[in-house]
Chains A and B, each alone.
Chain A
Amino acid sequence: MTGQTLIHLQDVSKRFVKGKDTITIFDHLGLTIPAGDFVAVMGPSGSGKTTLLNLLGGIDQPTEGAITFDGARVDTLTEGQLARWRAHNVGFIFQFYNLMPTLSAARNVELPLLLTAFGRSERKRRVEAALSLVGLAERANHYPREMSGGQQQRVAIARALISDPKLLLCDEPTGDLDRSTADEILAMLQLLNREMGKTIVMVTHDPEAAKYARRTLHLDKGRFTEREMVA
């Protein structure tokens, strides 16, 4: 079930200067993602998938064009404003989990809450709830090195969810996992989308993973080549 437009890219171009060459990643790209959507982005290496995710997450800025989120421009925000915007609106899930190895699962999950006004007890309650949601309540005090890849990714999902963002950005979230663990993670993402209404954009090489999304966008040389609706 999708709703109003959450993200809109209008005529977005992204170019890099490398030595004397200018490399164009996107040239006047347009994209609309409604709230509650679950979009898989597929395409060959170098097609711009990760750059798209970076632009959507406000960790990179377009060379030209406009990006709006919930009706407000984000491409014009300063570095500090973007950091605060990300803290409130975006959860990131990475291929290699990117947990802090020196922090326990609970402390990793708590990280985004440290940027909020919640007190210690409220943070603890929310961390316990998030870890329970991903089935890892009993591993709260374990460190990343003591957990399997699938468990680490579930901790990363709990971390992404903890501040209740509208948008989850997933960069190859199952790229480092075996098939059955990958299916568990993807099912969890699907549940978050369908039951909690989270808007999810997932970059993947895996057609099986893409099947969990509502739709799949194919990106090649900076352009969407085909759109396929799933489910």
Chain B
Amino acid sequence: MRALNEIAVVTTICIKSIPQRFWTSLSTVVAVSLVVTVLLAFLAMAAGFQQTLRGTGAKDMAIMLRAGAQAELNSGIVRNQARLIEEAPGVLKGPDGKPLVSPELYVIVDGIKKSTLPADGDLKKAPRANVTLRGLGPAGIAVRPGLKIVEGRQFNPGTNELLVGRALQKDFVGFNLGDTVKLGNSSWVVVGVFELGGSVFESELWADTPVVQDLFHRQNVFQSIRARLTGPDALGALKDYVANDPQLKLDVTTEAEYYAQQASRTSDLIQKLGWPLAIAMAFGALAGALNTMYSSVAARAQEIATLRCIGFSGTSSFLGTLAESLVLSLAGGVVGALFTWVAFDGLTGSTLSGASFSQIVFTFHLTPAVALQGIVLALVVGFIGGVLPAWRAARIPIVEAYGTP
């Protein structure tokens, strides 16, 4: 109890004296908050990206790609394989009795991001970004029960009509209802805008499969087959069916698993950029924290000496000084997290997905777990920045602290 009293009073003295060193203390708080902001901005980006991709997949939706293909982009499936899948066990049938199997085409086209549009609005000067154009038929709509057409209508089969994902429409130029868009060598008309639970599909353009196959010279070729299963347990039966048919050299997985893998690759990359940058900056903040805390110990030298004269232990001086450093860095961490939340949370961004090679629109998402990582980094900076000055506070000879020989 005595030891706790002792530590509590020295900690109180240290923390209450922070306003006496306002500017140096503030500089530490600002430096730490910048480090935390940089880290959390990257992590919020990774979390948002991951959330978008993970939210895309359903556990009862099987996706099939050519064996060995990591993504739709480098897959290739022929029409006959799609027909065989329609007869596979475990595939759900629609109200019309037809199996819910959707062979889909996947093409990359050019788009212009609103954020990269030149000030004069000249579209010719704007850099191009990859956008996914997905060719699908009525089955493609049927296997996605959450689809909502929020503006306009569904495209008509056999026409150059486009359905545009809501996220893509917000982030890219020229995809408003009724707009005519040039994709490849052909012109298309936007006839509808859809939402699909904030998933990655909202970053895509959808059109009728035969038209896309024709205009992009992909006759009779698809990139993926989606099949709605009778339940998540039905995947095993489908896998066995595919494995036993030599015509079906396909990899089968759930859509949830497929997008989770894609998400982890890109979000890992974002995190691998974010952490080193934040750690490099943390060294700068650490220097600031050390400077602040050494100044604090120097400014409080007489107080520390007086307390030790009275009989207070070096341990209480050590812990009090360390607590001061942790309080400053915690303040920096909280400020950084709040700033990131205000400035970035909910912000829409888009990035190139490593697997699909196309832009995926996502929302920065500062989750409590992500914010906690920033606070922990701040406390690590505070701890390391406080230990050496705290050690000095504990060990400095009293006569030296008083400035007498």
B309 and A92 contact, CB distance less than 8 A: yes
Whether a CB of chain A sits under 8 angstroms from the CB of B17 is: yes
Tell me which of B311-319, B350-358, B364-372 binds A.
B311-319
A57 and B309 contact, CB distance less than 8 A: yes
A residues near B13, Cβ cutoff 8 Å: 100, 102-103
Binary flags per residue of A107-139, CB closer than 8 Å to B gives 1, else 0: 100011011110000000000000000000000
CB within 8 Å of B: which of A74-105?
79-80, 83-84, 86-88, 92, 94, 98, 100-103
Q: How far is the CB of B318 from chain A (nearest CB, A)?
A: 13
B residues near A50, Cβ cutoff 8 Å: 404
Q: How far is the CA of A84 from the CA of B399 in the complex (A)?
A: 17
Binary flags per residue of A48-75, CB closer than 8 Å to B gives 1, else 0: 0011001001011000000000000000
Binary flags per residue of A30-49, CB closer than 8 Å to B gives 1, else 0: 00000000000000000000
B residues near A107, Cβ cutoff 8 Å: 9
B2 and A83 contact, CB distance less than 8 A: no
Interface of chain B, main secondary structure: helix
Binary flags per residue of B284-327, CB closer than 8 Å to A gives 1, else 0: 00000000000000000011001111111110000000000000
Known: A16-B405, A50-B404, A94-B306. A114 touches B5 (CB 8 A): yes
Residue of A nearest to B398 (CB): A59
A102 and B17 contact, CB distance less than 8 A: yes
A117 and B404 contact, CB distance less than 8 A: no
Whether a CB of chain A sits under 8 angstroms from the CB of B6 is: yes
B302 and A83 contact, CB distance less than 8 A: no
Binary flags per residue of B369-405, CB closer than 8 Å to A gives 1, else 0: 0000000000000000000000000000111000011
B residues near A80, Cβ cutoff 8 Å: 313
B residues near A115, Cβ cutoff 8 Å: 2, 5-6, 310-312
Q: How far is the CA of A60 from the CA of B17 in the complex (A)?
A: 28
A residues near B405, Cβ cutoff 8 Å: 16, 18, 23, 25, 51
When the two chains form the complex, which single residue of B2, B17, B312 contacts A116, counting CB atoms closer than 8 Å?
Answer: B2
Binary flags per residue of B1-43, CB closer than 8 Å to A gives 1, else 0: 1100110010011001100100000000000000000000000
Q: How far is the CA of A57 from the CA of B308 in the complex (A)?
A: 12
A residues near B17, Cβ cutoff 8 Å: 101-102
Q: How far is the CA of A159 from the CA of B307 in the complex (A)?
A: 11
Q: How far is the CB of A119 from chain B (nearest CB, A)?
A: 9
Residue of A nearest to B6 (CB): A114
B398 and A87 contact, CB distance less than 8 A: no
Q: How far is the CB of A112 from chain B (nearest CB, A)?
A: 5
A residues near B306, Cβ cutoff 8 Å: 92, 94, 98, 100
B312 and A83 contact, CB distance less than 8 A: yes
Residue of B nearest to A92 (CB): B309
- The count of residues in chain A whose C-beta lies closer than 8 Å to any C-beta of chain B is 32
Q: How far is the CA of A54 from the CA of B16 in the complex (A)?
A: 29
Q: How far is the CB of A60 from chain B (nearest CB, A)?
A: 5
B404 and A114 contact, CB distance less than 8 A: no
Q: How far is the CA of A23 from the CA of B314 in the complex (A)?
A: 28
B313 and A114 contact, CB distance less than 8 A: no
Q: Which of A18, A87, A117 has the most CB of B within 10 A?
A: A87
Known: A54-B404, A92-B310, A98-B306. A111 touches B399 (CB 8 A): no
Q: How far is the CB of A83 from chain B (nearest CB, A)?
A: 5
Residue of A nearest to B7 (CB): A114
B residues near A94, Cβ cutoff 8 Å: 306
B residues near A79, Cβ cutoff 8 Å: 314
CB within 8 Å of A: which of B96-114?
none
A residues near B16, Cβ cutoff 8 Å: 102-103
Q: How far is the CA of A16 from the CA of B307 in the complex (A)?
A: 25
Residue of A nearest to B2 (CB): A115
Q: Which of B16, B311, B404 has the most CB of A within 10 A?
A: B311
Q: How far is the CA of A87 from the CA of B310 in the complex (A)?
A: 6
B9 and A114 contact, CB distance less than 8 A: yes
Residue of A nearest to B17 (CB): A102
Q: How far is the CA of A80 from the CA of B308 in the complex (A)?
A: 10
A54 and B310 contact, CB distance less than 8 A: no
Binary flags per residue of B204-222, CB closer than 8 Å to A gives 1, else 0: 0000000000000000000
Q: How far is the CB of A51 from chain B (nearest CB, A)?
A: 7
Known: A83-B313, A87-B311, A111-B9. A100 touches B404 (CB 8 A): no
B2 and A117 contact, CB distance less than 8 A: yes
CB within 8 Å of B: which of A155-214?
159
Q: How far is the CA of A103 from the CA of B155 in the complex (A)?
A: 76
| Chain A interface residues toward B at CB < 8 A | 16, 18, 23, 25, 50-51, 54, 57, 59-60, 79-80, 83-84, 86-88, 92, 94, 98, 100-103, 107, 111-112, 114-117, 159
| Chain B interface residues toward A at CB < 8 A | 1-2, 5-6, 9, 12-13, 16-17, 20, 302-303, 306-314, 397-399, 404-405
Query: What are 23 A-B contacts with C-beta separation under 8 Å?
Result: A51-B404, A54-B399, A54-B404, A57-B309, A59-B399, A60-B397, A60-B398, A79-B314, A83-B314, A98-B306, A100-B13, A101-B20, A102-B17, A103-B13, A107-B9, A111-B307, A112-B311, A115-B6, A115-B310, A115-B311, A116-B2, A117-B1, A159-B310
10 nearest CB pairs, A to B: A87-B311, A102-B16, A98-B306, A59-B398, A114-B5, A86-B311, A115-B311, A83-B311, A92-B309, A60-B399
Given A111-B9, A114-B9, A115-B310: 10 more A-B contacts, CB < 8 Å = A16-B405, A50-B404, A51-B405, A87-B311, A92-B309, A100-B306, A102-B17, A112-B310, A114-B6, A115-B312
